[in-house]
Each structure stands twice: as C-alpha cells, then as structure tokens.
Structure 1
Amino acid sequence: MKRLLGIFTALLLITACDDGDLTVDTIDFSEVNAQKCSSRDVIYKVKDSEMLILAIPASTFINDETPEGNPIEVNINSTIQVIYRQYNGTASQDNICPTIPAATPNLLEEWNATAGTVQITTTAVKTVNATTGITQITGYKHFIVFKDITFQKPNGTQVYETYTFGNYTTSVSPLAFGFDEEAEKSTCDNRIFNFSGSESFVLDLADYSTLFQNINTTTPRTALISATNKVAYRLFTGTVNDAYFCASVTPTTPTMAQEWLANDGITNVSGIIEVSTTTFGTGFQHTIRLKKVTMTRGNSNFYLGDDYLYGSVITP
C-alpha cells in the first residue's frame, strides 16, 4: 500500500509541474560580436542558424559615459523590440537588414519579448599616444543587458531575470587638435586664442596681467586652471576667428558642436598654466604650456598629456 501511495504522489507532482510554460531553452550569444544594420536601427547577433535582434532607436545610444551605477534604462515596447529567431540554415544580415529580407534560409521559430527593460552602460574608448601621453576618444562602448525579460515562445513563455546581450560600439571622429604654435591675443579683451579652422582653444584668464609681463623669465610664471582661469576647447560647424568671439552678439553661424572644459587645477599636481617670456625683436614672446590638464564634457574626459604646448603670443 505504501508503495502504491508513493507512486501516486509522484504522478501528482509530475502532472502539477507540466503547465506547458516551463520548457527552458538556452540561447547563448556571449561569444558573438554585435553588428548594426547600415540602413535600419537594428542591432543583431548571428550564430550559425540563430539570430538575436534588438530594434532600438540610434538616439538611445549617447556619445557620453554613463555615471557609475546609473545606466540608461528603456522599456521593451512596440518601438524597442527584442527578438530571437532560429532558421533552417546559416543566417546573415540579409535576413534582417534589407527592407525585403532574403527568403532563405527559412524561419523555423521566433520568440518575441513582451516585457522587460534594456539597460545600457556606456564607457569611452580611448587611445593613448605613447610619447606624449595624450588620450583621444575614438568611440563609445555600450554594454547592453536585458532585465526581467519575458519571451513569448510558440510553446509558452521564457523569463530571464538578467540576460547579457553584450557590447555594441559606436565610433566617433577623434578631435583633430590641429593647432600650430602661433596663438594670438584677443582684439577685444585679454583672452588668448588659438584657431584651426572650425576648432578654437581659448584661455580666458583673470591672471592675465600676472602671467603675461614684458619681462624675461628665468622660471616660468604659473597659475592654476579655475573658475576664473578658464581653458576651453570648442568645435564648431564652420570656421571661427577673433571676430566671432568679439562680436557683441554671438553670431548664429557657425554653431558650436562640442565644448570641452579643463578641470580645475590642484597645486603642484595638475591643471597648471605655465608661461615663459623671452625677448622677440622689439617685443616679447610668451610661450604657454598646459601641464597635466584633463578636458571634460558631460561624463567623458580626455587627457592632454603631462606637457602640452598651447602656443606662443607676441606682445609689443
């Protein structure tokens, strides 16, 4: 009797668990690089006959680092979609990117996410000049994770508390910093300008009269970058010059595309403006160097190196 009761109990447990929604299939794209369709806002991964698709507006990926522990979060909906597909042969971008996808291989199974959140953590991709120590931002790496995502499958549902999609990288053009060594003093105030086409590098210094004296130096004069000794790099949509910055009303064109501001300095550590003065004909040449300066925009930054030659200014 006890034996029959045990068998009956086991049968009840098996029957109770078989609700048609608990079949768990494994999808693993961890070793696959993400790609983007050139003509559509679709990021995808392909592994043989399988494809994992994220349809998401390109504007979701900002070219700036996200604060630590504070990723971008967007909900899966009719605009932001996550889809898993399996085909009867090797899949490719032709199955997802064209307006009219390739007819082969044939689609065998499709899962559509019905709920969940897409989390994006962004960090800058940088290169470092081994000689000068100057860093350049060449792109942004977006680490994508799906949280509490529910897939509707042909035979039920499948839920992941955390599913890692992986990295998707966007490229940016490194700032040219095409400046030469000939800087100039503003015609309207005490700012120092260095221009290169659509680039400007501006020193707006409260300590101008201290740094730029018509007396030869034996040791450089120095000041710290601060709220009153400002250093700013700006990139515009067209050529800029002294007249642009000295206009009583800021011209409507060109427009500013990027602005990077130097971090405040720390005595004997970083953010130091250094000026050396020598005679130059009947005038004086002031050579300006920026020591251990970091430029910041939003949450992103790059390093100008230990010793950046800003340029020289001639005064009568």
Structure 2
Amino acid sequence: MLKKTAALFISFASFIACNDGGLEVENIDFNGINISYCGILDLEEELLFKLNDRETLILELPNAFFTLEEKNREYTIPSAAQLTYRVFDDKVTSTYFCSLIPEINPKVVNSYDAVGGKLLVTSTLNSETDQYDYTIELQEVSFALNENERITNLSIEEFGALSFNAN
C-alpha cells in the first residue's frame, strides 16, 4: 500500500512540475476567419493577420508578393514568409497591429514562430469582376515556442482569400 501511495504521489508531483500554469495550446484553428490588414489593401501589402478573440495568426510576406498574373506558387516557411501564432492576455483587435504608436495592451502571453511548413498561393483572373483572386493556403505548419515546446496538432489549412483590381 505504501508503494502505491508513493508511486501515486510521484506521478502527481511529476504532472504538476511539467505544467507551468500558463496557457497550454492544444490546437490552432483559424479556418473560417477572415483575413485582416491595415488600411487599404494593395499589391504592396506585407502583413496579413487573422483575429480570434485572444489569439492571432500573423503572416508576414516578402516584398512584391502579390502580382497581377495568374500563377500557382509555393513558398517555404520560415525562409520565404514568416508565420506567427500569438496568444494574448485579453481580446486583441486590428488596432493592435495598425496603430502608428503600438498599444501596450493586450500583452502577449506566448508567441510561437512557425519553424516549418508551406505557403501555397493561387492567383486567377476573374473575368466577371476584372479582379485577380488570391487563395492562400498553409500546409504542414509546425510552431515552436522554444526548443522544448512545439505545436504540431494543427487545424490550419486555409489562410484565406483576397482580390485585387486588374487595372
């Protein structure tokens, strides 16, 4: 009986020691949430983000990412584009990203940088609207907080869709 009690106590102590009390992320799911950006969307846009209450998914794009041509492209993350998942201590809005003077609240609780994955971009000319429609997808994305903490249970497939006038 004493051995069982000691084993139970050690198991419980190990469980508590592994949990720092912070937010544990089990799943990241931004599918169905619209893309946000600052100001008027144009071809020079380099920062796209998705807001989900206290969470954000931030996509930083290289210069001249959007072009007015029909094309399928594939980029590697993080070498060609940066993807970051952040958890805040309170609800976050687009003002956090778009202010000239950055807000001090809400505060970032955790920031996970993507350490691998693919960014797939399809652009097509919509002859009815005379716009180029872009579909942005993510594949095989893996995030890391540090060497010991990774998020791999992801439900991220679509990042979203955008359109630009052809003229």
Q: Do both share a fold (TM > 0.5)?
A: yes
Tell me: CA distance 1:72–1:121, structure 2 relative to 1, closer, same or farther (3 Å). Answer: same
Matched-pair contact (CA < 8 Å) for 2:77–2:116: yes
Where structure 1 has 5 or more consecutive residues not aligned to the other structure, the ranges are 5-10, 12-17, 128-135, 175-316
TM-score scaled to structure 1, two decimals?
0.39
Q: Which amino acid aligns with 2:89?
A: N
Q: Which amino acid aligns with 2:53?
A: D
The correspondence for 1:50, drawn from 52, 55, 58, is: 55
Which secondary structure state, in structure 1, belongs to the residue aligned with residue 98 of structure 2? coil
Query: Percent identity over the alignment?
Result: 23
What do you get for the CA RMSD once the two structures are aligned? 3.0
Per-residue CA deviation, residues 238-268 of structure 1 (Å, 9 max, x unaligned), is xxxxxxxxxxxxxxxxxxxxxxxxxxxxxxx
Partner of 1:244: none
Matched, 1:147 2:139: yes
Q: Distance in 2 between matches of 1:151 and 1:160?
A: 10
What is the deviation of 1:58? 4.9
Matched-pair contact (CA < 8 Å) for 2:132–2:166: no
Tell me: CA distance 1:46–1:126, structure 2 relative to 1, closer, same or farther (3 Å). Answer: farther
Tell me: CA distance 1:163–1:118, structure 2 relative to 1, closer, same or farther (3 Å). Answer: same
Q: Distance in 2 between matches of 1:40 and 1:100?
A: 19
Where structure 2 has 5 or more consecutive residues not aligned to the other structure, the ranges are 5-10, 12-17, 19-23
Q: Distance in 1 between matches of 2:133 and 2:113?
A: 26
Matched-pair contact (CA < 8 Å) for 1:149–1:162: no
What is the deviation of 1:89? 1.6
Tell me: CA distance 1:43–1:58, structure 2 relative to 1, closer, same or farther (3 Å). Answer: farther
Matched-pair contact (CA < 8 Å) for 2:28–2:153: no
Tell me: CA distance 1:161–1:88, structure 2 relative to 1, closer, same or farther (3 Å). Answer: closer
Tell me: CA distance 1:89–1:58, structure 2 relative to 1, closer, same or farther (3 Å). Answer: same
Q: Which amino acid aligns with 1:49?
A: R
TM-score scaled to structure 2, two decimals?
0.70
Tell me: CA distance 1:104–1:146, structure 2 relative to 1, closer, same or farther (3 Å). Answer: same
Tell me: CA distance 1:126–1:79, structure 2 relative to 1, closer, same or farther (3 Å). Answer: same
Tell me: CA distance 1:95–1:145, structure 2 relative to 1, closer, same or farther (3 Å). Answer: same
Q: Which amino acid aligns with 1:163?
A: I
Partner of 2:8: none
Partner of 2:91: 90
Tell me: CA distance 1:160–1:117, structure 2 relative to 1, closer, same or farther (3 Å). Answer: farther
What is the deviation of 1:157? 1.0
Per-residue CA deviation, residues 21-42 of structure 1 (Å, 9 max, x unaligned), is xx86111111211122348610
Tell me: CA distance 1:77–1:30, structure 2 relative to 1, closer, same or farther (3 Å). Answer: closer
